[in-house]
Structure 1
Amino acid sequence: MRVVIAVVAAALLAGCASSTMEAARAKAPTKSFSSAKPADRVAQCIQFGWQDEAVFGVDASGYLEPNKQGGFTVYTREAESFADIQSQGATSAVSYYAQKNDSVALRRMAALATCL
């Protein structure tokens, strides 16, 4: 039963986050990065970093999904911050989006940068 509830909650979260992300993608990313690492490794690292409760406290969240255009998207609750990670041959391109320009968004960007 808990598994069913968790799956339903994740699906609802993804639906709400999706419209927010599409609106943000219509604009330029907050910051763009490149990495010599494969996209899947970068995405997993970002997800792990964003889930660090020692850094983000109760705001620690990181969800990883395949992106519609290929690659991956890592996002937080309500898509306050998210990153699109695309493969470019053996390297990766990362586009970081943040709804707010606050200390939490800057910490998420810093955690992302450690994965490059």
Structure 2
Amino acid sequence: MRMLMVALVTVLLAGCAGSVMDDARTKSPYKVLISDKPEKVVAQCVQFGWQDEAVFGVDAAAYLEPRKPGGTTVYTRSAESFVDVITEASGTTLNYYAQQDDFVAKRRLAALATCL
């Protein structure tokens, strides 16, 4: 029973984050970056960087999720920040979205930039 509750909560949280991300994608990204590295390498690097508790404290969680149209999304709890990592002919494009233009968003962007 306990495992069922944990699974249900996880599905509900993923649904909420998904709708927040879909809404954000209707607007321009906070920042667009390009990399020569493969999509999976960049996405895993971003996830690792965003999980650094020394930088982000207790809220150092980051998750990977495949995108339906292709690519990978790396996101934080409640999708406060997320990045779509997409393979294109010119290289790997990173569309970074942040709900607020604050110190944490800028720190996440700086961590992301180290993965280029």
Same fold (TM over 0.5): yes
**Alignment match, 2:97:** 97
Any idea what the Cα deviations from partners look like across 1:51-101, whole Å, max 9, x if unmatched? 110100011010000011100000000000000000014720000000001
Q: Please provide the CA RMSD for this pair.
A: 1.7
Query: Within the alignment, does 1:19 sit opposite 2:22 as a pair?
Result: no
| 1:61–1:19 CA distance, 2 compared to 1 (3 A) | same
Aligned residue identity for 1:66: P
Query: Within the alignment, does 1:111 sit opposite 2:115 as a pair?
Result: no
**Alignment match, 1:44:** 44
SS in 2 for 1:27: coil
Residues in 2 aligned to 1:58 and 1:113: alpha-carbon distance in whole angstroms: 22
| 1:2–1:115 CA distance, 2 compared to 1 (3 A) | farther
Q: Is the 8 A contact 1:96 1:109 kept in 2?
A: yes
Q: Is the 8 A contact 1:37 1:90 kept in 2?
A: no
Identity between Structure 1 and Structure 2 (%): 59
Any idea what the Cα deviations from partners look like across 1:23-44, whole Å, max 9, x if unmatched? 0000000000000000010000
Stretches of structure 2 lacking an aligned partner (at least 5 in a row): none
Residues in 2 aligned to 1:48 and 1:2: alpha-carbon distance in whole angstroms: 29
| 1:98–1:69 CA distance, 2 compared to 1 (3 A) | same
Aligned length: 116
TM-score (norm 2): 0.92
TM-score (norm 1): 0.92
